[in-house]
């Protein structure tokens, strides 16, 4: 049981990041408990949120959650979504600010509150997964440009193309007429699936051109897209492929043998 409690505690710590959010939440909830006159507000914004956090740390609840949800170990933190953390902090902060008698003191307290939130928090738009949008699709422009070259025209059959792993998340967000021999399911390492094209196209440090073409022909890929920087042992044109275009640093090869079979 203690081991499960430790797991819950780690989940709470991971959720709360540097801990400042947890401190603000606990401070606000305790402040509401101590000063709020309305018993209902005291219960809903003071007692209940604290009970929910205590419940989150309770091993029995974690065991029940994991039993109900197959991915429960990874998603247990989502129970914290139910705790009205922002509501409690917001209400507690407002209550504290407006308990001050003078307007000027209230203004200063508001500025201090906002400064504390900003300094202890993390600005969402500078996060590691954030970047300036290259287009309204919010996908790399290189994917758009490459797909525009190989996409079938109206009435033509769909085409299958092997893309480098950095592109697979985005290709079908732009055009679902492009099929792929492997997709995001191969890139998520912990899933650990097997795919013959992925094995020869992504895993080796140096691609074996002959093995790659054999695998893509096996899976009926009409095109292979390679990053110009990618090390490859051999030339794909010597395997019968044609270099159609080079777009944004990506080489687009067509396989006449597969295209001819359609």
Partner 1 sequence: MHLLVLWLLIIPFLIGILFNFILPVVRRTVGITFILGYLVYFGCFEVVAIPCMLKITYNAFSYCTKYYTIISLVLAAAGLIRGLWVLKRDGFNVLSLFPGETHAGAHELLSPRSDPKMLKMNYSLESNIYWGIFFVLLMFQMVMSVVMSSFDGDDAYFVVESLLAQQADVMNTILPYTGTSTSLDIRHALAVITMWIAFIARQSGIHATIVSHSVIPCLVIALVYLVYVEIARILFRRRQEIIPVFMIIISFLMIFGNVSIYTNATFFLTRTWQGKAIACNQVFPLIFWVFLWMLEDTGHFHSTNPAKTVSDDHYMITPWVMLTLINMLAGVCTSLGIFFGGGIIALLTLILLFFSRRWTVLVGAVLCEIPSVIYLLLYLSIWGG
Contact positions with partner 1 (CB under 8 A) in 38-57:
38-41, 43-45, 48, 52
- For residue 62, the minimal CB distance to partner 1 (Å) is 14
- For residue 158, the minimal CB distance to partner 1 (Å) is 7
- For residue 97, the minimal CB distance to partner 1 (Å) is 7
Which residue among 56, 113, 213, 258 contacts partner 1 (CB under 8 A)? 113
- For residue 172, the minimal CB distance to partner 1 (Å) is 5
CA neighbor of 207 nearest in space, from 151, 162, 141, 256: 162
Which residue among 137, 206, 235, 248 contacts partner 1 (CB under 8 A)? 137
Phi, psi angles (nearest 5°) of residue 221: -85, 125
- What is the three-class DSSP state of 65? helix
At 2, list the tokens: 């203690």
172 vs 137, 183, 221, CA distance in Å?
12, 9, 15
- What is the three-class DSSP state of 99? coil
Q: What is the β-pairing status of strands 207-208 and 223-227?
A: unpaired
**Count of C-beta atoms within a 10 Å radius of residue 46:** 23
Which residue among 4, 7, 16, 220 contacts partner 1 (CB under 8 A)? 16
Which residue among 78, 108, 237, 240 contacts partner 1 (CB under 8 A)? 78
The residue (of 4 and 110) whose beta carbon lies closer to partner 1 is: 110
Q: Within 197-226, which residues bind partner 1 (CB under 8 A)?
A: none
The residue (of 34 and 124) whose beta carbon lies closer to partner 1 is: 124
What is the Cβ-side half-sphere exposure of residue 189, based on CA atoms within 13 angstroms?
Answer: 2
Q: How many residues of this chain interact with partner 1, rule: CB under 8 A?
A: 81
- What is the three-class DSSP state of 178? strand
Contact 200, 215 (CB under 8 A): yes
At 9, list the tokens: 């505690």
Q: Within 88-107, which residues bind partner 1 (CB under 8 A)?
A: 89-91, 93-94, 97-98, 103
Which stretch in 1-9, 127-135, 201-209, 240-248 sits in contact with partner 1 by CB under 8 A?
127-135
At 196, list the tokens: 């013959």
The whole-angstrom separation of Cα 231 and Cα 228 is: 8
- For residue 206, the minimal CB distance to partner 1 (Å) is 26
Contact pattern from residue 160 through residue 179 relative to partner 1, giving x for each residue in contact according to CB under 8 A and a dash for the rest: x-------xxx-xxxxxxxx
CA neighbor of 180 nearest in space, from 240, 243, 223: 223
- For residue 255, the minimal CB distance to partner 1 (Å) is 18
**Residue 132 makes contact with partner 1 by CB under 8 A:** yes
- For residue 201, the minimal CB distance to partner 1 (Å) is 14
């Amino acid at each position: 049981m203690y081991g499960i409690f430790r797991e819950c505690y780690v989940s709470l710590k991971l959720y709360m990041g540097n801990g400042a959010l947890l401190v603000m939440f606990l401070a606000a909830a305790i402040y509401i408990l101590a000063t709020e006159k309305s018993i209902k507000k005291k219960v809903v914004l003071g007692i209940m949120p604290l009970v929910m956090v205590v419940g989150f740390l309770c091993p029995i609840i974690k065991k029940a959650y994991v039993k109900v949800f197959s991915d429960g170990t990874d998603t247990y933190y989502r129970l914290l979504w139910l705790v009205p953390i922002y509501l409690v902090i917001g209400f507690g902060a407002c209550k504290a600010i407006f308990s001050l008698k003078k307007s000027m003191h209230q203004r200063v307290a508001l500025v201090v509150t906002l400064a504390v939130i900003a300094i202890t928090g993390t600005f969402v738009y500078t996060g590691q997964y954030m970047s300036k949008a290259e287009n309204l699709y919010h996908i790399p422009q290189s994917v758009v440009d490459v797909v525009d070259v190989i996409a079938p025209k109206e009435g033509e059959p769909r085409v299958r193309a092997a893309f480098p792993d950095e592109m697979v998340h985005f290709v079908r967000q732009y055009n679902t007429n492009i099929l792929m021999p492997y997709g995001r399911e191969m890139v998520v390492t912990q899933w650990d699936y097997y795919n013959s094209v992925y094995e020869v196209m992504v895993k080796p440090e140096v691609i074996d051109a002959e093995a790659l073409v054999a695998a893509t022909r096996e899976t009926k890929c009409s095109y292979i897209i390679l990053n110009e920087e990618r090390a490859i042992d051999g030339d794909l044109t010597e395997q019968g492929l044609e270099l159609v275009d080079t777009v944004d640093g990506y080489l687009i090869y067509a396989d006449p043998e597969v295209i001819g079979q359609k």
